[in-house]
Structure 1
Amino acid sequence: MSSKKPAPQDNDDTSANTPAPYHTGKGRPTRSRAEAEAARKRPLVPTDRRAAAKAARAAQRDQRELEYEAMKTGDESKMPYRDRGPVKRYIRNFVDARRNMGEYFLFIALLFLVVTLFSQVLPAEIVLAGLIGMYVVVILAIADGFILWRQLKKRLVAKFGQDALMQRGLAMYAVMRAFQIRRARLPKPMVKHGNYPS
């Protein structure tokens, strides 16, 4: 009695039902580091310097116009960096709400200039009075700027905490704004006289 194993039969159905292998790759070889660096390289000096300088000037002009428009409308997101932030906004509003001696300084200086131009014609007493008045206004404006910063510093600490004073140049920012004519200030004043920020 011979026991023969049946020969395996070729089943064509199994090969037909086997799914095709699934490729998860990106389908292309990864670039070498040298190729990637070469693709990123840009010349340090542009080939057409004149055209590059012209494009840079145009971009700067567009940026300045955008910032100027933002300072007129009060859009803080497009203002220059020096004018951004709640602390700077508070300083501007406080200075604009206050009547500052410094904002009248330019008018008085202009009046004194007219007096000195006609010093040969005017009596010496008027010229001397104009000179004394000019020095008095300068001293009062400086004292007023000092008082302004003292008041403002207390308010800034009360509203924003001691860390608000860590920013550099806040005192100069406030005093320089106080010495500008109200209508010529940029960013434009957003509050009326007497309307102090809370």
Structure 2
Amino acid sequence: MRTHPVPLGFVFRSRAKEEKAQAAAQAPVTDSKQTRDPQAPKGRPTPKRSEARTQRRSVANTPMTRKEAAKRNRDERRAAMERQRQALASGDERYLPVRDKGPVRKYARDFVDSRFAIAEWFLPMAVVILVLSMVQVPALQNVALLLWLFVIVLIVVDSVVTGIRLKKQLATRFPNENKRGAVAYALMRTLQMRRLRLPKPQVKRGERP
């Protein structure tokens, strides 16, 4: 009677390998091309794109608490003030305060900054006059009083002349623009020393605006 040889591989095959093969055969087959959404929890199916978009939109539209809203408003105000501060230094029209915006106000500033104004030295002269008036010497007190009157008259005359000239220039250059308050705006600027003016002067003295 002819005997059939037994394969040696069957005899020496490891029991552990056989069990692993059976477990792999019984495991469910999944599509390797489908990537798991990083936002999806492990052990759960990957959400559809429309569902994920809806979830993100709901998170973005979640109402903030009162504390969060106040913090956001403070941050926005702080950013706006920083942009305004930079605009006052650079003259950027986009972020200037409302009172400084517009071509009329810009020309009024340039008109004042291009000239020497007596009023810009009002504060230093007022300090000197105040010191002289405090000295217990009648002669110096009389000088301080006369000097004070002289300074006031000079400032008034210079302001009137500057206002008339500026008004004529504005009427010529901006016939269709709103010029209300521009002259008073310029005269208030003359009371500030040039280096302390905001927005910063954009023209030099003697330069035509």
Number of the residue aligned with 1:76: 93
Number of the residue aligned with 2:154: 140
Is the 8 Å Cα contact of residues 97 and 192 (structure 1) preserved in structure 2? yes
Number of the residue aligned with 2:135: 119
Give distance in 1, aligned partners of 2:139 and 2:85: 46
The answer to whether 1:187 aligns with 2:199 is yes
Which consecutive unaligned segments of at least 5 residues does structure 1 have? 1-42
The answer to whether 1:170 aligns with 2:187 is no
What count of residue pairs does the alignment treat as equivalent?
148
Over residues 148-183 of structure 1, what are the superposed CA-to-partner deviations in whole Å (9 max), with x where a residue is unaligned?
A: 11001111111121x33x332112101001111000
Give the fraction of aligned pairs with identical amino acids, expressed as a percent: 39
Q: TM-score, normalised by structure 1?
A: 0.67
| More divergent stretch after superposition (82-91 vs 93-102) | 82-91
Number of the residue aligned with 1:93: 110
The answer to whether 1:196 aligns with 2:185 is no
Number of the residue aligned with 2:168: 154
The answer to whether 1:102 aligns with 2:101 is no
User: What is the Cα deviation at residue 96 of structure 1?
Assistant: 0.2
Number of the residue aligned with 2:37: none
Number of the residue aligned with 1:21: none
User: What is the Cα deviation at residue 47 of structure 1?
Assistant: 5.5
The root-mean-square deviation of aligned C-alpha atoms, in Å, is 2.1
Give distance in 2, aligned partners of 1:196 and 1:148: 15
Higher CA-based Rg: 2
Say which SS state the counterpart of residue 167 (structure 1) adopts: coil
Say which SS state the counterpart of residue 110 (structure 1) adopts: helix
Q: TM-score, normalised by structure 2?
A: 0.64
Question: What is the letter of the counterpart of residue 135 of structure 2?
Answer: S
Give distance in 2, aligned partners of 1:112 and 1:62: 43
User: What is the Cα deviation at residue 75 of structure 1?
Assistant: 1.1
Measured at CA, do residues 113 and 62 of structure 1 come closer, stay the same or move farther in structure 2, by a change above 3 Å?
farther
